[in-house]
Chain A
Amino acid sequence: MAIPATRSGLDAARQIPRPDPAEPPGSHRVEEAGDARLVEQARDGDDRAFASLVARYERPLIRVLARLVRDEEMARDLAQETFWKVYNRLDRFDTSRRFGPWLFRIGVNLTLDALRRHEPPTPASIDRSIDDGRRAFDLPDPDPRVQAELVQEVQFVLEKVPIAYRTILVLRDLEGFSSAEVAAIVGRREATVRWRLAKARDLFREHWERRHDSMTTRREANDEI
């Protein structure tokens, strides 16, 4: 059974925001313009065009970076640094290619460099009680508290996955980027990304099962006592 992705990352990112009625009539035309056109206008010194690009991509970018660094403030700083770098490199951008993967590639690389400099502390694990006899894989739990704990547990397990594979998981499975988009962001061929994705999911499954097995063993020990 295939699990459909929730949405496509860049397609969701490229949703054109509704125009503000208070804005002048011509401003909405800028929002509707394609990324390449906005880049060209920004190159010519049109700050409003670059503001449109920022408005279009800042939320998904911060989301992705926050998934990788697990710190929203740091993710915002990294996103701002990313846009600043993009602004200074607009002349190097090939407008025949897509702007989104280029932007996310710069952001992800900046984040990976930051993570290499100082890996954030591993979040504390929540020893979830599974006294109800259900397996940890039985999803979703109708109780929002249990689901929130499960989310934290998933995050804890995800931290165990090496960063190269974790990046693929975040982009493909958490943010819904297509394999082609992930390939463009990480700078690999699509076939390579596909096999890395399989490997990443397998690594996550191993850690997830190991976590579940250790909880089961602990629960059995508690039962014996």
Chain B
Amino acid sequence: MKFDRQCRWINPRLPLLAGGELGIEERRKVERHLIACPDCRERRDASTSALAALRLLGEESPSDRQAPSLWPALDRQIRQSRHLSRPALAWWENPLPRSWSLASLATALGVVLVVSVGSPRPRFQDASPSLRIATTRPDPVPTVEMTTPMVAEPAHHRSSGRPALPEGPRPGELTQGALKPIEPPSSILRFDYDLDHGTPMTPGSHDPQRTF
């Protein structure tokens, strides 16, 4: 029998007929043609046999049924990814750097506070005396305060034969013999030093013209 137009329409449907995937109308039409067309019947048989062979392969399991599950490996993978994708803690969230940074900050603030408020003004300290003389004011002249000025007792008050000194000892006069306290003067006696001559001078007697 020749391969006519109806066979060309039937032929691509034969594999679907073998698999039972044709609709009712198409199936009736194909089966009606197969009754009268031995070539198409032969192709139908070949398709059916090939499909049976193929499905025989489907009955064989390509994988081991006893193979372990994929879940443990997947679980590890998921946990690792979570661990890696966890954002790094900011410095204020991390407890160790936070404590260190807070301690450093407190120390720095303390240092600033001590330097700016609590500490004395820095002095220029130099061991060089010449430089010290040149750059600083001279130390104040030490004053001698005589709260209980002592005067020598007149000689005639003692039992020695020495000539008596004139009466009325002068304040501040030292004589041999017992010392007798005298009344302090109304003004404190001060001695300044003439830097050029090294001799004591009373306050007010310093003549700036005499110093060089």
List the interface of chain A (C-beta within 8 A of B).
1-6, 47, 50-51, 54-55, 58-59, 62-63, 66-67, 70, 72, 75-76, 79-80, 83-84, 87, 135-140, 147, 150-151, 154-155, 158, 169, 172-176, 179, 194-195, 197-199, 201-202, 204-205, 208-209
Contacts of A147 in B (CB 8 A): 56
> Nearest Cβ distance between residue B68 and chain A, in whole angstroms?
9
Contact B16 A175, beta carbon cutoff 8 Å: no
Contact across chains for B19 and A51 when beta carbons are under 8 A apart: no
Q: Which of B50, B58, B70 contacts A201 (CB 8 A)?
A: B50
Q: Closest residue of chain A to B52, judged by CB?
A: A139
Q: Is the interface of A mostly helix, strand, loop or mixed?
A: helix
**B12 beta carbon closer than 8 Å to chain A:** yes
Q: Which residues of B contact A209 (CB under 8 A)?
A: 46, 50
- CB pair A137–B62 under 8 Å, yes or no, is no
Stretch of B74-82, B156-164, B175-183 on the interface side? B74-82
Asked if B73 lies at the interface with its beta carbon under 8 angstroms from chain A, I say: yes
Q: Which residue of A lies closest to B54 (CB)?
A: A173
B55 A151 Cβ-Cβ under 8 A = no
Pick the contact of B18: A3, A155, A158 (CB < 8 A): A3
B71 within 8 A of A: yes
Whether A174 touches B57, Cβ cut-off 8 Å, given contacts A3-B48, A137-B49, is: yes
Q: Nearest 9 A-B pairs (CB), nearest first?
A: A2-B20, A137-B49, A201-B15, A174-B58, A66-B62, A205-B50, A154-B57, A198-B15, A208-B50
Q: How far is the CA of A115 from the CA of B65 in the complex (A)?
A: 24
15 A-B pairs within 8 Å (CB atoms) are namely A5-B20, A55-B71, A58-B70, A72-B63, A75-B63, A76-B63, A80-B73, A80-B77, A147-B56, A151-B56, A197-B19, A197-B21, A201-B18, A205-B15, A208-B50
- How many A-B residue contacts, CB cutoff 8 Å? 141
A193 and B51 alpha carbons, distance in the complex (Å): 17
**Chain B min CB distance to A87 (Å):** 6
Judging by beta carbons under 8 Å apart, are A63 and B54 in contact? no
Distance from A15 Cβ to chain B, minimum over Cβ atoms (Å): 14
Bound-state Cα–Cα, A197 to B17, Å = 11
Give B29-70 as 1s and 0s: 1 = Cβ < 8 Å from A's Cβ atoms: 000000000000000001111111111111111111101011
Q: State whether B46 touches A6 (Cβ < 8 A).
A: no
B16 and A197 contacting across the interface, CB-CB below 8 Å: yes
With A137-B46, A197-B16 as known contacts, state yes or no: A174 contacts B73, CB within 8 Å: no
Chain B residues positioned under 8 Å from A50 (CB to CB): 78
B57 and A201 within 8 A (CB): no
